[in-house]
Structure 1
Amino acid sequence: MNKNSYNKIVEQWQEVRDTAEINTPILEFAKKLPHHSQVLDIGCGTGKPIAAFLASKEFYVTGIDVAEKMIEKALEFHLDNSEFINIDFQHFETPKKFDGIIAWDSLFHLPKEAQLDVYDKIADLLKPNGYFMFTHGTIDIEHTNPMFGENFYYSSLEKNKVLQLIHKAGMELIKTWENFKEGKDERDWIVLARKAL
């Protein structure tokens, strides 16, 4: 459902995201990364604003997205230090290890049962001391909602369950933002974690 829906709204999505600001949590994430870090952007969309911002900081960005139309748009920008791949994160494999991984508004599109394993996969992709930032809901829920006239699937695990899974995967909690509001940005929960050495 989500792949088809995102392909259908790519023009509206680009219009909104092209003018979106980089918020404080993302700035904090970027400041923690070493110079020339390898960064994975899960659910990168058109590459703006997050992948473009990270690339401007001279990080090497790998953006992945399940919707091929989003990736086509991202490639049109010819961003420096970046590559974009059309793939579902559940099928993404690479020998590369990342200094940072960001999943902004993407994990909640995964089937709920897949979310039980996602943190182990994230930890495996991170270098020791690598950082992981993601957005998430705070309650156990599964539903569909419309956006730009198309339906999208969303789900989340309960907050304490997510924290347990992070710890089990060998990551430590660094900071969270709950009921985050900044400008036009609103998120239920933003999490910054770090893989143990």
Structure 2
Amino acid sequence: MSAQAKHIVGLYRRHAQAWADLRGTVLLERVWLEHFENRMPPPRSVLDIGCGSGDPIGRYLVNQGCAVTGIDSSPELIQIAQRNIPGACWTVSDMRGLELDAKFSGILAWNSMFHLTPDEQRRMFPVFERHACPAAVLMFTSGAYHGCAIGEFQGEALYHASLASDEYHLLLSRHGFEVIERFVQDDHSGQHVIWLARFLASATDRPASNRPPADHPI
């Protein structure tokens, strides 16, 4: 594992308030959250994986009437979410190997899973599968290509990684998800790739082909 990847949780713990202040409350992602929530089956329950401080995404979903469960590895960020957005369930938990006794109609991993190593990302797809109710919608962001990149936050190295598009598509299909849309270099997500997929309740409903859909540039 990359040394920078091992320290990602500690970085967000040390700089939780700075991150929350920088993230702010401006909802640049509204267009994608509307895509997400409009496709959710009732009841509108959302698992926000890597929820951070809850702002602005968690707050938006709560205000839209969704029952939100947010998990994050940083107790400091969860404390901020609990203080500022009491209308949701905010829990300290590591997304890797997450096992909640609940299923959700929407699963969101917005700008969070890409802090995991490639192998850890592969192990997230069983997590998505076991928390998805029939017809649940999954939305997550990734990079455009396979590889790792090291950014910077508060003077510390900030790890990012991505699998190849074909592998994401294969993993989704293997775990019962059908890709609805894939958008690349989206201005509303910091030029990341957005994946929107639906969970198929039975293996017989799964797509026969693992061929990825055409990309949709914004």
Report the TM-score, using the length of structure 1 for normalisation. 0.92
Specify which of 178, 194, 198 is matched with residue 194 of structure 1: 198
Q: Which residue of 2 aligns with 1:41?
A: 48
CA contact (8 A) 1:135 1:187 kept: no
Q: Which residue of 1 aligns with 2:8?
A: 2
For residues 105 and 164 of structure 1, the distance between their equivalents in structure 2, rounded to whole angstroms, comes to 21
Specify which of 90, 95, 109 is matched with residue 84 of structure 1: 90
Q: What is the CA-CA distance between 1:120 and the residue it aligns to?
A: 2.2
Deviations 1:118-139 (A, max 9, x none): 1122012100100000000121
CA contact (8 A) 2:176 2:199 kept: yes
Q: Which residue of 2 aligns with 1:147?
A: 153
Q: What is the CA-CA distance between 1:35 and the residue it aligns to?
A: 4.9
Query: How large is the Cα RMSD of the aligned pairs?
Result: 1.5
CA contact (8 A) 2:98 2:127 kept: no
Q: How does 1:1-197 map to 2 (within 5 A)?
A: 1-21=7-27, 22-80=29-87, 82-182=88-188, 185-197=189-201
For residues 147 and 138 of structure 1, the distance between their equivalents in structure 2, rounded to whole angstroms, comes to 21
CA contact (8 A) 1:66 1:86 kept: yes
Query: Which 4+ residue blocks in structure 1 deviate beyond 3 angstroms?
Result: none
93-102 vs 70-79, which moves further: 70-79
- SS of 2:96's partner is helix
- SS of 2:121's partner is helix
For residues 32 and 112 of structure 1, the distance between their equivalents in structure 2, rounded to whole angstroms, comes to 28
Q: What is the CA-CA distance between 1:33 and the residue it aligns to?
A: 2.0
CA contact (8 A) 1:66 1:89 kept: yes
Q: What is the CA-CA distance between 1:4 and the residue it aligns to?
A: 1.2
For residues 159 and 62 of structure 1, the distance between their equivalents in structure 2, rounded to whole angstroms, comes to 28
Report the TM-score, using the length of structure 2 for normalisation. 0.84
Structure holding more strand per residue: 1
Partner amino acid, structure 1, of 2:140: F
Partner amino acid, structure 2, of 1:115: Q
CA contact (8 A) 1:45 1:65 kept: yes
